Amino acid sequence: MTDSSFPQPVLRIAPDPETPPQASPQETHVHLRVVDHLFRHDAGQMVSTLTRAFGLPNLSLAEDVVQEAFIAALKNWPFQGVPENPAAWVLRVARNKALDVLRRQGNWKDKSPAVQSSFRTLEGMGSSEEPRFAQELRDDRLRLMFACCHPCIPQNSRTALILKTVGGFSTSEIGRAFLTRGTTIAQRLVRAKRHIRSEGLRLEIPSSEQLPELLPNVLEVLYLMFNEGYSSHQGEALVRRELCSEAIRLCELLAEHPATQTPETEALAALFLLQGARLPARSDGDGDLILLPMQDRRLWNAEMIGQGLEYLGRSARGQKISTYHLQAEIAACHAMATDYENTDWASILRAYDDLQRLTPSPVIALNRAVALAEVKGPKAALEILEKIQHQPTMADYYPLHASLGALYKRLGKRHLAQDHFRRALELTISQPVRRFLLDQLHR
């Protein structure tokens, strides 16, 4: 079920679907199929599998040779054309470069069964459809993800490390997504790799005993990755959206793997898909945020909503309700509603009640109050917001003032409503949000 919306990490050459097959008899008519991020995903796969071959201490070497091999492709293919099996080409170059380096260092025995086996896996990746290697390729990425999120790696390095190695992002792309200088990201990566070496980390998929300790770290990193892409309204829109897709891709990998498909993983996958489905409607042509009540719901991705609901159904088999379950449930209520008014606010309110018990925060209290207003009316909601509005983190939070304005307006308190809409206007630069607020102010 996951294959359709996200490309599999195998470089493929295929006739352009736009041109009829009989019109493409020659090499020059073969297109690089326009699959998003194919090279990036392949790079992540190659780094993962070469790291298995050469060992985790050689992670940087694996990254370097894969990058060099892609550069070699960039220099060659414009002149020679794209080879019939591009992945195999890049792999061969990367592997030979790595072996050169290791042989020069002197202590390398490349005949070891482990190395031979990972090379065979890589060849499998190159030779188009080779299902028997698919599992191994997937396991390689999973192992590296766990290594990147190991407790000994500093928290603020984990996301960058996973994006760089398994994700195939460049340092400057990560910097652009996080509004951080590329050099800062590079330093974090160096530090993280130092930890990998000094702690003697190994590449492994955790046993069922280790899983409860290690899996939450990985899920948290993916959650942060997704949120960075989803919530921040600064930075480069395109790269931020790619953070969301990458978080979804990696989460699906976990949710589909027998060792890691816990209810919590599935709930997180559900949350990502249900939220991600709304991304196309969430900003206008200028990249400005469009709030939920004003979104064109026809732009929501129905396929992703379907997948999200399926994961949410699967996630319900567990004993424990995680915060991911509750957030996914809320997202599902929104995703299934025909419009804002006809949303299942009662269910949303119940989920926020639970969420507030599990992880209390003023932002959750605000969101809960919005749902409460729809269920019990504006007065009940106002009582809550009047309490939290003086908390330091909330005073400058425009959604709080926008909500206060809306509630006062519903109660006919025009002047109070206008004060808060004006305050909200001072706090946001998003044009669609400002238009909405101005409209509320003057109507």
Among 217, 227, 301, 317, which residue's Cα sits nearest to residue 267? Answer: 317
Residue 41 beta carbon to another protein: minimum distance, rounded to whole angstroms: 8
Residue 28 beta carbon to another protein: minimum distance, rounded to whole angstroms: 4
Provide the mask over 285-314, with x wherever binding to another protein is found by CB under 8 A and - wherever it is not: ------------------------------
Question: Of these, 5, 9, 10, 37, which contacts another protein (CB under 8 A)?
Answer: 37
Residue 75 sits in the site that holds another protein (CB under 8 A): yes
Residue 40 sits in the site that holds another protein (CB under 8 A): yes
Question: Of these, 48, 121, 159, 171, which contacts another protein (CB under 8 A)?
Answer: 171
Residue 32 sits in the site that holds another protein (CB under 8 A): yes
Q: Which stretch binds another protein (CB under 8 A): 67-75, 129-137, 201-209, 408-416?
A: 67-75
Q: Break the chain down into helix, strand, coil percent, rounded to 5.
A: 70, 0, 30
Residue whose token pair is 């294959």: 3
Contact predicate 89/83, CB 8 Å = yes
Residue 427 beta carbon to another protein: minimum distance, rounded to whole angstroms: 34
Residue 77 sits in the site that holds another protein (CB under 8 A): yes
Q: Which stretch binds another protein (CB under 8 A): 79-87, 136-144, 328-336, 399-407?
A: 79-87
Residue 184 sits in the site that holds another protein (CB under 8 A): no
Contact predicate 160/174, CB 8 Å = yes
Question: Of these, 29, 197, 376, 379, which contacts another protein (CB under 8 A)?
Answer: 29
- The helix/strand/coil state of 13 is strand
Residue 276 sits in the site that holds another protein (CB under 8 A): no
Report residue 422 as tokens. 């004006």
Measured between alpha carbons, how far is 254 from 266 in angstroms, rounded to an integer?
A: 8
Residue 80 sits in the site that holds another protein (CB under 8 A): yes
Q: Which stretch binds another protein (CB under 8 A): 73-81, 124-132, 295-303, 347-355?
A: 73-81
Among 346, 368, 347, which residue's Cα sits nearest to residue 358? Answer: 368
Residue 81 sits in the site that holds another protein (CB under 8 A): yes
Residue whose token pair is 């492709």: 73
Residue 38 sits in the site that holds another protein (CB under 8 A): yes
Number of continuous H segments (helices) and E segments (strands) in the chain: 19, 2
Residue 200 sits in the site that holds another protein (CB under 8 A): no
Provide the mask over 112-151, with x wherever binding to another protein is found by CB under 8 A and - wherever it is not: ----------------------------------------
Residue whose token pair is 């599902």: 332
Residue 193 sits in the site that holds another protein (CB under 8 A): no
Contact predicate 199/153, CB 8 Å = no
Question: Of these, 8, 76, 184, 227, which contacts another protein (CB under 8 A)?
Answer: 76
Q: Which stretch binds another protein (CB under 8 A): 115-123, 162-170, 303-311, 321-329?
A: 162-170
Contacts of 102 (CB under 8 A, 6+ apart): 54, 58, 61, 108, 110
C-beta atoms surrounding 88 within 10 Å: 17
Among 432, 373, 372, which residue's Cα sits nearest to residue 398? Answer: 432
Among 218, 213, 324, 221, which residue's Cα sits nearest to residue 263? Answer: 324
Residue 53 beta carbon to another protein: minimum distance, rounded to whole angstroms: 19
Residue 182 sits in the site that holds another protein (CB under 8 A): yes
Question: Of these, 43, 137, 160, 402, which contacts another protein (CB under 8 A)?
Answer: 43
Q: Which is nearer to another protein, 163 or 382 (CB)?
A: 163
Residue 169 sits in the site that holds another protein (CB under 8 A): yes
Determine the size of the site formed for another protein (CB under 8 A): 31
C-beta atoms surrounding 345 within 10 Å: 19
Among 241, 247, 312, which residue's Cα sits nearest to residue 278? Answer: 241
Position 223, amino acid: Y
Measured between alpha carbons, how far is 119 from 216 in angstroms, rounded to an integer?
A: 31
Q: Which stretch binds another protein (CB under 8 A): 51-59, 110-118, 168-176, 205-213?
A: 168-176
Contact predicate 69/91, CB 8 Å = yes
- The helix/strand/coil state of 273 is helix
Among 287, 161, 283, which residue's Cα sits nearest to residue 225? Answer: 161
* Footprint of another protein (CB under 8 A): 26, 28-29, 31-32, 34, 37-40, 42-43, 70-71, 73-82, 168-173, 182
